[in-house]
């Protein structure tokens, strides 16, 4: 099956700085790569996603890049704010539509 690795497991940044979270996957058949944000005591919520026919996607301060050849994708958050503090999960989804999640990154934005 698919194996998704996510780094770093924890990340602290100063407010206003950028944050980058990286994921690698193993199954070349994976074609959908969502990113979820999970706040304390809540379920994960989709913040951005990318499909394998696209190399980059941006939504305001959030962007995702995908390198299919190297089998890695990254989440970029610019101008971080305290409300960006949460746990972020990447996932890789293949033909069976099963989501394989990374182990999560706990992001802390220091005011």
Partner 1 sequence: DAEITQSPRHKITETGRQVTLACHQTWNHNNMFWYRQDLGHGLRLIHYSYGVQDTNKGEVSDGYSVSRSNTEDLPLTLESAASSQTSVYFCASSETHRGDEQFFGPGTRLTVL
48 closest CA partner among 28, 74, 22, 29: 74
Residues 15-34 that bind partner 1 (CB under 8 A): 31-32, 34
* Closer residue to partner 1 in complex, CB, 74/104: 104
Q: How far is the CB of 76 from partner 1 (least distance, A)?
A: 20
Site size toward partner 1, by CB under 8 A: 24
Kindly state whether residue 101 participates in binding partner 1, applying the rule CB under 8 A. yes
35 closest CA partner among 92, 86, 90, 78: 90
Contact 85/10 with Cβ under 8 angstroms?
no
Contact 27/94 with Cβ under 8 angstroms?
yes
Residues that bind partner 1 (CB under 8 A): 1, 4, 6, 31-32, 34, 36, 41-46, 49, 51, 89, 93, 97-99, 101-104
């Amino acid at each position: 099956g698919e194996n998704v690795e996510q780094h770093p497991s924890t990340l602290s940044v100063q407010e206003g700085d950028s944050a980058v979270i990286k994921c690698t996957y193993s199954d070349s058949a994976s074609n959908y790569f969502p990113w979820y944000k999970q706040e304390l005591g809540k379920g994960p919520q989709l913040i951005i996603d990318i499909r394998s026919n696209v190399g980059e996607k941006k939504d305001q301060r959030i962007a995702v890049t995908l390198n299919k050849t190297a089998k890695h994708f990254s989440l970029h958050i610019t101008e971080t704010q305290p409300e960006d503090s949460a746990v972020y999960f990447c996932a890789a989804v293949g033909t069976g539509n099963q989501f394989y999640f990374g182990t999560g990154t706990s992001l802390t934005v220091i005011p």
